[in-house]
Chain A
Amino acid sequence: MEYIKDGRLNIDKTKHQMPTTVHDPCNYGRKSYMTFGDHHADNIRWITKQCIDEEHYREMVDSPLNNLCCGAGGGAWALPYDEERLAYGKYKSDQIKATGAELVVTPCHNCRDQIMKGLAKEHDLGNYKETMYLWELVAESLIIEPWNDEEVAKGHAERDAQNEKFEIDLDQEW
């Protein structure tokens, strides 16, 4: 967020012109609020709206603190209860469908996997096309300027020193 505010990132909003919504992970919204008295729901939306035009944004919930869990919380991906995990996510699926969004943005590995690899296959998500990590949306919206010669040379020198330190030989057969 700082990077965008300080103008350190050059973002092209035209790269993602599709109806987009945000899913709030329990840990960054409600549980952060209950534990630390603060949450990140506004930040997630702010960053998202730096990458897409406001007119494409579709809100999913009235209150992010009441948002429904995607169904994969609590380590559910590493638990043997897949059926329950997918049934749990039916509520989330209906919410996504109701927004009409094609793109769901979320800053959590679990939520992303659940929506992309779980819910999208199991339930009807309406217009849904893809899920992106918040940082993926930022990265894929960037206009990346190559570094100048001096910066490149510095980067290479650091890289070579590092590879030597860790004894990494990239030509070696693996």
Chain B
Amino acid sequence: MDEPIKITRQKRLFDISPEMANVCLTCGACSSGCPATGLVPGWDPRKAIRAIVLGMEQEVVDSKWPWVCTLCGRCQYVCPMGVLLLKTFRACRIARDRDKVPGPLQKGTDMCFERGNNLGIPKDDFLFLLADMSTEVEEDEETPMPGFHVPVDKEGANVIITINSKEPFGEPDDMIFWWKIFYAAKESWTVSSENWEGVNWGLFSGDDANMKIQCERVLENARRLKCKTLVYPE
């Protein structure tokens, strides 16, 4: 006969207390409301929580489940017992070896750490693009905005805005929406020349250290340039 499973505090991958085995009612509310239920054979939020409580943490960490789960938080929001499902599934991502993080998530996180944005766009190219587009926008046929330019590193601006690196990389015209709003409102605003990335992939890849660095950089830009408001359109 198989040995009974003992639930102890020993050798736990992350901070799940053994009492959780009793806290979770196995009611299944989390799984009923989870749009990812049924997408990964063998897994849903209730099962994943059960598995973790029973000491099968590594199985969950090695599975696709924590990555197909979008960390939307619905399960945790409805759980009648206050089980921290969202936090637990993100902890599963954190517990993955960095070189086993699927897709380009960790690569982007590292790139951002090294070069200030997820896609590694060089500073010169970025500044040239902004300056070049400013001229085009000024003379735009449909909605000309005479006098417009993108203020970079403008000290004392009211507003500092971050940019999603996919925009300068592939959809630069999408940056103009904010420019129009600032122009029309005659706002005093700015963009940082360094670390302007508005995406924080450390949050998703489960890289807490880099996530914090990225947050600090964004705040540091705002402090350095003495801006009152930070606009983080993610």
Contacts and interface: CB of A to CB of B under 8 A. Distances in A.
Interface of A: 3, 8-10, 26-27, 30-31, 34, 65-66, 68-69, 71-76, 78-81, 84, 87-89, 91-92, 107-110, 133, 135-136, 138-140, 142, 144-147, 151-156, 158-159, 162-163, 166, 168, 170, 174
Nearest to B140: A144
A34 B128 CA distance: 41
Nearest to B37: A88
Nearest to A174: B128
A27 B198 CA distance: 14
A174 B177 CA distance: 26
B67 A144 contact: no
A112 B66 CA distance: 23
Contacts of B63: none
B105 A75 contact: yes
Top 3 A-B residue pairs of the complex, sorted by shortest distance between their CB atoms: A75-B204, A73-B70, A155-B147
B102 A144 contact: no
Contact of A78 (B77, B103, B180): B103
Contacts of B187: 3
Contacts of B181: 3, 9, 135, 138-139, 142
Interface of B: 33, 35-36, 39-40, 64, 67-74, 76-78, 86, 102-105, 108, 127-128, 131-132, 134-135, 143-149, 151-152, 154, 164, 166, 174, 176-178, 180-181, 183-187, 193, 199, 201, 203-205, 233-234
A142 B164 CA distance: 23
Contact of A109 (B149, B178, B234): B234
Most chain B beta carbons < 10 A, residue from A69, A71, A75, A138: A75
B188 to A, nearest CB: 10
B135 A142 contact: no
Contacts of B201: 75, 78
B178 to A, nearest CB: 6
Contacts of A76: 70
Contacts of B76: 34
Contacts of B104: 78
A68 B152 CA distance: 38
Contact of B147 (A30, A110, A151): A151
B153 to A, nearest CB: 8
Contacts of A135: 177-178, 181, 233
Contacts of A91: 35
A136 B177 contact: yes
A88 B149 contact: no
A162 B149 CA distance: 10
Given A151-B147, A168-B131, A69 B186 contact: no
Given A34-B77, A109-B166, A147-B146, A139 B185 contact: no
A81 B68 contact: yes
A46 B87 CA distance: 31
B186 A74 contact: no
10 contacts: A30-B74, A31-B72, A34-B73, A75-B204, A107-B233, A133-B177, A135-B181, A138-B181, A139-B176, A144-B143
